[in-house]
Amino acid sequence: MHNRFKLTVILLFSLIFVVACSNNGSTEPSQNKRETQTPSENEELIISAAASLKDAMDVIQHTYEEEHPGITLKFNFGASGSLQQQISQGAPVDLFFSAADDKFDLLVKEGIIANEDGLDLLGNELVLVVPKENQSIKGFEDLVKESTGKISIGTPETVPAGKYTKESLKQMNLWKDVESKIVYAKDVRQVLSYVETGNIDAGIVYKTDALISNKIKVVSNADPATHSPIIYPVGIIKDSQHYEVAKDFYLYLQSDEALKVFEKYGFTIK
């Protein structure tokens, strides 16, 4: 009798153990299934963008991340030529937003950006800026005067604004006379900073950069006919680890909501 009771207890505990294991096994697949249904959660996009885009992109970033709480946008701002070289050398980037179509086209030719995943989105203008208190420089022709000191532009080889500036000054027959006065900068924001601090008598930047500063004034606009068209192309890196999310943000940049932000900051829409 005692042995029969002992056997019954053992069988009962064995049954409970089997049922418990069965229940655990049945819940795990459904949990795994729920996890695989949300692959876009906590994804980070890396966007390499021209320095002149920073203020507009700060606004767009805030709005986009609010509407897409699982996505984080990480920006690398700089000169388009330097950014292009980084991407060509394998830097982990999902989108490239350039201030020059020639830098962008190099990545297309290298097969890093597909033709169908890029477009010309924005335009800009070149302007001559001086410190607010400067009264002696009223136009490009004043740059050649002996009284005019240092002039800052972006390095033409890597900074599109510098390349456009050099073209424009050559077309105006001013380059030879001002070349010795030039202080080169790593990007347009550095040019702007030089002028704001008064360390430089004049600088040539994009109109969009001039609009964000209250320490400088625009004294002249460069004639668009004196330089190559200023075009801002944007595209998805073909080998992006987050291609679908990158495509969504790429399309968002073309939306009315985003384009209104770009226009507010002085860009023209292509």
**H, E, C per residue of the chain:** CHHHHHHHHHHHHHHHHHHHHHHHHHHHHHHHHHHHCCCCCCEEEEEEEEHHHHHHHHHHHHHHHHHCCCEEEEEEEECHHHHHHHHHCCCCCCEEECCCHHHHHHHHHCCCEEEEEEEEEEECCEEEEEECCCCCCCCHHHHHCCCCCCEEEECCCCCHHHHHHHHHHHHCCCHHHHHHHEEEECCHHHHHHHHHCCCCCEEEEEHHHHCCCCCEEEEEECCHHHCCCCEEEEEEECCCCCHHHHHHHHHHCCCHHHHHHHHHCCCEEC
- At 42 the pLDDT is 82
Phi, psi of 217 (to 5 degrees): -135, 150
- At 26 the pLDDT is 37
The predicted model gives 220-234 an average pLDDT of 97
Residues 218 and 254 reside in one and the same domain: no
- At 34 the pLDDT is 24
Write 165-173 long-range contacts (CB < 8 A, 24+). Answer: 165/126, 165/204, 165/222, 165/227, 167/226, 167/227, 167/228, 168/126, 168/204, 168/222, 168/223, 168/226, 168/227, 169/140, 171/225, 171/226, 171/227, 172/140, 172/226
Question: What is the per-residue pLDDT across 1-11, written as a single tens digit (0 to 9) for each?
Answer: 444 444 444 44
Per the CB < 8 A criterion, the answer to whether 97 and 47 are in contact is: yes
Question: What is the per-residue pLDDT across 150-161, written as a single tens digit (0 to 9) for each?
Answer: 999 999 999 999
- At 162 the pLDDT is 97
Residues 132 and 164 reside in one and the same domain: yes
The predicted model gives 175-204 an average pLDDT of 96
Q: For residue 88, say whether it is annotated as part of any ligand binding site.
A: no
- At 41 the pLDDT is 62
- At 74 the pLDDT is 98
Residues 134 and 260 reside in one and the same domain: no
Separation of alpha carbons 118 and 120, rounded Å: 7
Is the per-residue pLDDT at 235 higher than 60? yes
Residues 116 and 131 reside in one and the same domain: no
- At 172 the pLDDT is 98
**Containing structural domain, residue 61:** 43-123+231-269
Residues 134 and 95 reside in one and the same domain: no
Q: What is the mean pLDDT of the chain?
A: 88
Residues 118 and 61 reside in one and the same domain: yes
- At 28 the pLDDT is 36
116, part of any domain: yes
Q: For residue 243, say whether it is annotated as part of any ligand binding site.
A: no
- At 69 the pLDDT is 94
25, part of any domain: no
CATH number at residue 90: 3.40.190.10
Q: For residue 252, say whether it is annotated as part of any ligand binding site.
A: no
The predicted model gives 8-21 an average pLDDT of 46
- At 249 the pLDDT is 98
Write 242-247 long-range contacts (CB < 8 A, 24+). Answer: 242/43, 242/44, 242/45, 242/94, 243/94, 244/40, 245/40, 245/43, 245/45, 245/71, 245/94, 246/45, 246/94, 246/95, 247/117
pTM of the predicted model as reported, rounded to 2 decimal places: 0.79
Q: For residue 219, say whether it is annotated as part of any ligand binding site.
A: no
Residues 211 and 193 reside in one and the same domain: yes
179, part of any domain: yes
27, part of any domain: no
Is the per-residue pLDDT at 138 higher than 70? yes
Residues 158 and 220 reside in one and the same domain: yes
The predicted model gives 60-89 an average pLDDT of 96
Separation of alpha carbons 153 and 205, rounded Å: 7
Q: In sequence order, what are the residues at sequence separation of 6 or more whose Cβ sits closer than 8 angstroms to the Cβ of residue 67?
A: none
The predicted model gives 107-132 an average pLDDT of 97
Is the per-residue pLDDT at 90 higher than 50? yes
Residues 57 and 109 reside in one and the same domain: yes
- At 268 the pLDDT is 96
235, part of any domain: yes
Is the per-residue pLDDT at 60 higher than 90? yes
The predicted model gives 170-195 an average pLDDT of 97
Q: For residue 228, say whether it is annotated as part of any ligand binding site.
A: no
Residues 158 and 245 reside in one and the same domain: no
24, part of any domain: no
Is the per-residue pLDDT at 43 higher than 60? yes
Total tally of structural domains belonging to the chain: 2
Residues 143 and 202 reside in one and the same domain: yes
Of all residues in the chain, what percent carry a pLDDT higher than 90? Answer: 84
143, part of any domain: yes
